[in-house]
Amino acid sequence: MREETARRLMMDCFKAAVRAAHPENCLEQFLPSPPDHGEIILLAGGKAAGSMMKVAVRHYLHVRLVDRTRICGVAVGKPDGFEAIYPLEWIHAGHPVPDEGSVRGAKRALQLAGQAGAQDLVVVLLSGGASALWCAPVEGLSLAEKQDVTKALLRSGARIDEINSVRRHLSKIKGGGLAQAAFPARLVTLAISDVVGNDPAVIGSGVTVEDASSLADARFVLEHYNIAVAPSVRAALENPANETLGCDDPLLSAATWRCITSNGNAFSGIGSRLALAGYDNRPNLGWGVEGEARDVARKDAELIRQYKKSGEKLALSSGGELTVKVTGRGRGGPNQEYALALALELDKSPGGLEGVYALCADTDGCDGGTGQPGDPAGAMIFPSTLQRAHAQKLNPATFLADNNSGAFFDALGDLLFTGSTGTNVNDFRLILLENA
């Protein structure tokens, strides 16, 4: 297969996966009925905040025919998201590191929730990224101090659930804080999951659900990853007033939570495309994969070697959420690092990358990076990847050692740029094997 043909097929599959998990195709059927007399308060936070809010507003105004004077709310998302959706507010905020917009957005969401009465309906439209985009530091903690903790956690290689256990206990809105503010109103949370297992306490750091982790657990994460923090952070994690809502807390009695789509759903739309191209799409490498990107690439390379022996045309898919422990000074993201590590691992065996094509990306359109609109979504590898690198005198092992996969694939023209996709169900990796 020509590499350009493979590129188009893999891109087509990625776009189909994004569409399958987009709010336009999965949200409306789950929106609750409007209250008989009260207001509808829409609170959206996360990378899909704009697209989720757009669907919800259209539904209530034009399908349910609710008078617009009964609808209010705020969407808090990245600057490359949707703009204001009348009659709602739109606040730009920072990701992966929170900024002043994150503080304003969380404060406004808490204010609107706090205004809700028993006859009102509060609908929380939650998606991955809300942990940073909604930031409400506890008393005695500054935004800068919380930013420093977030940066250190992201560089440590900690899992997302571990990162969120710390962030929940340093926040007024996380760990059930938003549900506490909305009580006694009816509260419905509809979530697009960006975490393996779809744990409600992990998606967006559980702003409307109970938290099974404790202050002690948060302190353990910092100790386990040797993360030094300011005295104010240490004090906050030792203050009993910052403990989150536990199971069976009466403040959660009016709250319900539902996951409307997740990583596995994204792969539902690619089977027919692969079948038409002659690929057997039955084997997969797992849709709940976690771990260090290089370690996962090493394991997957061994499986790919075994599959190549079959002589069949196979499509291997995988999802989940990989991590990277940053020790170098380069740029990249978990999927880009996985792609480079996979290429190097396969190159150790006879045949190397012959007959191997892969697209490794994040469904939100941003794999690592700085949170800017121009960040890459991921990278692609081809049979010629390492040959072209050597022709340009690029040493792939050196790039990998410096966590500089982004620069490596940029030099080859094999970065994937999509911009914000309007959804976020984490990793999408597709590997095509041409064994015939």
Tell me the per-residue pLDDT of 56-73, one tens digit each, with 9 for 90 and over: 999 999 999 999 999 999
Locus of tokens 């025919």: 65
Token look-up 């669907």 returns 55
What is the fold, at CATH topology level, of the domain defined by 22-136+171-210+245-261?
A: Rossmann fold (3.40.50)
Query: How far is the C-alpha of 290 from the C-alpha of 324, rounded, in Å?
Result: 11
Mean pLDDT of 338-361: 96
* pLDDT over 80 at 370, yes or no: no
The structure tokens listed for 434 are 């041409």
- Mean pLDDT for 183-196 is 96
Nearest alpha-carbon partner for 340 in 374, 302, 301: 301
pLDDT at 377: 97
Distance CA 415, CA 402 (A): 18
Q: What percent of the chain has pLDDT over 90?
A: 83
39/350: higher pLDDT: 39
In CATH, 3-18+266-433 is 3.40.1480.10: yes
Strands 71-77 and 89-92 come out as parallel
Cα 360 to its chain centre, rounded Å, is 14
Spatial CB neighbours of 193, under 8 Å, sequence gap ≥ 6 = 128, 203, 259, 261, 262, 263, 425
Name the nearest CA neighbour of 9 among 266, 265, 277. Answer: 277
Q: What is the arithmetic mean of pLDDT over 87-95? A: 88
Does residue 81 have a pLDDT over 60? no
pLDDT at position 82: 59
Cβ-based neighbour number of residue 140 at 10 Å: 12
Phi and psi, residue 280, nearest 5°: -85, 115
Distance between CA atoms of residues 90 and 117, nearest Å: 23
Q: Dihedral of CA 422/405/384/393: which sign? A: positive
What span, in angstroms and rounded, lies between the C-alpha atoms of 58 and 52? 10
CA end-to-end span of the chain, whole Å?
10
Tell me which amino acid residue 284 is.
N
pLDDT value at 49 more than 80: yes
Higher-pLDDT residue of 225 and 161 is 225
φ, ψ dihedrals at 159, nearest 5°:
-70, 160
Largest CA distance in the chain: 70
Report the distance separating Cα 119 and Cα 260, nearest Å: 25
Average the pLDDT over 311-325 and give the result: 93
Cα separations in angstroms, 66 against 99, 243, 292: 34, 38, 48
Q: Is the pLDDT of residue 188 over 60?
A: yes
pLDDT band (50, 70, 90) for residue 1:
confident
The better pLDDT of the pair 328, 78 is held by 328
195 vs 164: CA distance, rounded Å: 11
Q: What is the pLDDT of residues 374-396, one digit of tens each?
A: 899 999 999 999 999 999 999 99
Contact assessment for residue 338 and residue 345, using Cβ atoms and an 8 Å cutoff: no
Q: For the chain, what's the residue count?
A: 436
Give pLDDT, residue 84: 60
- The whole-number pLDDT of residue 96 equals 85
Give 361's contacts (C-beta < 8 A, 6+ positions apart): 14, 335, 367, 377, 378, 379, 416, 418, 427, 428, 429
Q: What is the pLDDT of residues 218-251, one digit of tens each?
A: 999 999 999 999 999 999 999 999 999 998 899 9
If you average pLDDT over residues 355-367, what whole number do you get?
96
Q: Look up residue 324 and give its amino acid.
A: V
The answer on pLDDT for 307 being more than 80 is yes
pTM value?
0.91
pLDDT grade, residue 79 (50/70/90)?
confident
What values do phi and psi take at 162, rounded to 5?
-70, -45
Q: What is the pLDDT of residue 135?
A: 93
Report whether pLDDT(209) > 90. yes
Q: What is the mean pLDDT of residues 181-202?
A: 95
Q: Is 371's pLDDT higher than 90?
A: no
Backbone angles phi, psi at 121, to 5 degrees: -120, 125
Question: What residue segments make up the domains of the chain, in order of their start?
Answer: 3-18+266-433, 22-136+171-210+245-261
**Percent of the chain having pLDDT more than 70?**
98
**Separation of alpha carbons 171 and 166, rounded Å:** 9
Place of tokens 């691992």: 345
Give the mean pLDDT of the chain.
Answer: 93
What is the model's pLDDT at position 109?
98
Q: Is the pLDDT of residue 122 over 90?
A: yes
